Structure formats: C-alpha cells, structure tokens
Amino acid sequence: MQTRQPYPTDLTDEQWALIEPLLPQETRGRKPVHTRREMVNALLYMARTGCQWRMLPHDLPPWAAVYAFWRRLVALQVLERINDALRIQIRLQEDQDADPSVLIVDSQSVQTAEKRGPAD
C-alpha cells in the first residue's frame, strides 16, 4: 500500500495495468524491498523533473535501487517494448494499422564545396 502523497508523475492504475505485464518479474533471490510500480514512479519523476540520481526525493526508493532497476530495464530492452506497446495502442485508438506502412524520409542537401574561397 502506498503511504506517500502521490506526485503528478505517478502512474495511474490504468497506466500501470498497461505496462505491468511488460516489466520483468522478480523470480530469484530475496523479495524486493520496493515495488516495481514505485520504481517506475521514481523513473518517471526523474524523466519529468530532470533531477540527478542522487537527488531523488526521500519518499521514493533510494537512488541506487532505482538506478539498478533502470539498468536492468535497459539491458533487457524493456523500455523499447513499452514504447512499442504504447505506440501500437495509440495507433489503434486512432483507427490506424498497428504498424506504420509508409516511411517518409526528408533530407536537405547542403552544398559547401562551392562556398569556399578561391584556391591558392
């Protein structure tokens, strides 16, 4: 049960239901001290405020635990899976195919060779 006042960056129950299945389960070792939801809330707080690891508020999990959790998510490519799942959900809500079928690449050519000064 949550005993702290919520931050504006905290996950809603609906948001948590979407990403919880995508997070790795703790299957080995001792039982975690902090819930995965609180760890994600700490990461969202950091992403929104831009604070440093060691500047996390004291009512969130310790920075070292949050950092270790983040490193694990990066190593397992969980953040990419969450992004893909959310992108698919948004596209389906907008009555589009789950995956885009067209890719537009826009490039601008800059000519620099003709702008040089005269050769000596």
Domain boundaries, the chain: 13-23+32-93
Q: What is the pLDDT along the chain (120 residues), one digit of tens a residue?
A: 557 899 999 999 999 999 999 999 877 788 889 999 999 999 999 999 999 999 999 999 999 999 999 999 999 999 999 999 889 888 888 888 877 777 777 766 555 556 566 666
What's the whole-model pTM score? 0.75
For helices 63-75 and 36-49, angle between their N-to-C axes, nearest 10 degrees? 90
Tokens for 17?
Answer: 């239901």
